Structure 1
């Protein structure tokens, strides 16, 4: 396994850091807190012009495909800057789902629009008082002439208010995994949006579907194939979410190191005190460990090896590290670290939120335990797309 940083990874990181330095400053992040749209058009346009919206899309659809390790470099920079944009939902999750459901003129058009920055898409998955397992999907898809009608309530739908289309997980049968994927227009009759507030002040929505008609042409999967497709794509994507957590933790550590060097007590910087310096050493060690685990998961994916257990472990550990590092950073800052004027609280709030997004710690531990406790099925468990 070779995890040395390549020139391409460095180039991607430098490009994204430059873009975020111009369009995702802490002032820009603050301005987007609890914003109904959640991102600035300028940032989205620059990402599109730079080819960074097509990194998971084949060239025939206008994409600019790169390896997972290169995508990891991009997402670590997104984490450093807390970049407020729908890249993850649109250019990663939606793009990969559209490829996995099979070739069609509709998917090809949407993939081209994603790569060009002409569309934002959202994923409507989680529901109130439900978990991350397939049994938690209770939104009903009832068969009618020419399509289905969807009825249900979705929560924590990122960037739904600025999305043109949503990919909705809905139940089509009685078995736990009888779930399919449906492409729904954001302005479809019967669909209503209500913004939800989170500890991260990011842009999430509650989506109510009341007899929303979806034509057969917009039914992305049939026969209950949707859950397997969704779960497989999610276990790819969380590698990047883990990398975002690493970047967040690294920047929080950088901010705190600089503060410890300049903040003085008893006529010397607080970094000179052993208790503070050892805290920072522990944080640095944990961040490097998380970065290595993320890189290993990305390397396995790029090599076509089973990656899902590594991906789950990477997100579990990286998000725990981000939470621990930002909490320690708050402690080192003292009381002022909790004030809104200081940037460290931006990272502290988002670190905890990120532990809950997409797959929380309990769901990730269950994914890992399935592999650990059932060695005979380790490969099948690790790769949901395996035959």
Structure 2
């Protein structure tokens, strides 16, 4: 694995950092908290004009055809800035699912518009009091008169009120993975969308489907293949989400270090005390390790040899982000919990991010299976990792 960025990749990082600073500074992030739409439309258009939204989409359908490492670079900078946008759910998750399993008609209609930011496609996955896995999918789909009819409720649907369409995971039968992926226009009769506040104050919604009828051509892939298609696409999402966490953790550390240098107690900066300095040293080391793991996951995914590395990357990066915010609060003291201090913005998002895009328990199971159930553990000298 080559950890040296090319000139083009470094230029990409600098460009994203610059646009975040200019068009979505932290004051704008604060203004967008608890906003039902949840992101700045002008900032989103700017990302589209910079060809960032179609970065990993196929060139044949309006994208740039680049790899996950470029997606991670973008996500790191969005995470550093806490810049709210549907980048992950629309461009990475929905885009990759449509590219992999959508009909040519669906790909031609949707992918170029996702790449420009003209259309946003969100994912309707989670359900109340249910798991992240296929057993948690209860919203029902049935075939009727050549159409598909959906009934049920999804929760924590990101940017639903800003979306043009929803990719819905729906159960068609009793077998664990007998699940369909259905693309549903947001304005289809029978859909009711309600904004629901979250810890991160982002634009999450509850979406109810009451006899929602769509053409059978709206199903992506063959009947009953929805979960396998979704889970394959989620590897890219996990890696990108891990990059977002690393960017947030890095910015949190920078704020913590700056405060430890400027806050004076007993006549010296508090960074002089071991009780402050050593946790900062620990978390700096962990962030660097998380970043390396994320880059390795991105690189090996492009080689087809990632195994559980996407799960490892998201699991560890999200956990490190959460710990980085804890060290920040311990360094800032009580003032760090006040709304005027930026640390609390990162703390709330780190906690929610740890639970979304497969929570720790699900990822632990997947990583454990790679070690305990496989003939050769994934992480070993013999395995070459």
TM-score computed with the length of structure 2 as normaliser: 0.96
Q: 1:221 to 1:80 in 2, by over 3 A?
A: same
Task: Show the 5 A alignment for 1:172-191.
Answer: 172-191=172-191
8 Å CA contact retained: 1:194, 1:205: yes
Is the counterpart of residue 212 in structure 1 residue 243 in structure 2? no
1:308-387 map, 5 Å: 308-376=307-375
Q: What CA deviation, in whole Å up to 9, does each residue of 1:304-324 have, x standing for no partner?
A: 22x240000011000110001
Deviation at residue 136 of structure 1 after TM alignment? 0.7
Q: Distance in 2 between matches of 1:270 and 1:5?
A: 35
SS, match of residue 376 in structure 1: coil
In the TM superposition, what are the counterparts of 1:119-268 in structure 2 within 5 Å? 119-268=119-268
Change in Cα spacing, 1:108 to 1:377, as seen in structure 2 (3 Å) is farther
- Secondary structure at 2:321's aligned position in 1? helix
Alpha-carbon distance, 1:222 to partner:
2.9
Could you report, residue by residue, the CA deviation over 1:50-81 in whole angstroms, capped at 9, with x for unpaired residues? 00011111112111122211221111111100
Q: d(CA) in 2 for partners of 1:203 and 1:357? A: 14
Q: Is the 8 A contact 2:92 2:236 kept in 1?
A: no
CA distance in 2, matches of 1:191, 1:234: 25
Query: In the comparison of the two structures, how many residue pairs are matched?
Result: 378
1:341 deviation in Å? 0.3
Give, in whole Å, the separation in 2 of the partners of 1:174 and 1:100. Answer: 25
Unaligned runs of 5+ in 2: 379-385
Contact 1:250-1:287 within 8 A present in 2 as well? yes
Deviation at 1:243, TM superposition (A): 0.7
Distance in 2 (CA, whole Å) between partners of 1:166 and 1:103 is: 16
Deviates more, 1:339-348 or 1:274-283: 274-283
Maintained 8 Å contact 2:189/2:212: yes
Please give the root-mean-square deviation of Cα atoms over the aligned residues, in Å.
Answer: 1.2
Unaligned runs of 5+ in 1: 380-387
Residue 188 of structure 2 aligns to a residue whose secondary structure is coil
2:18 corresponds in structure 1 to 18
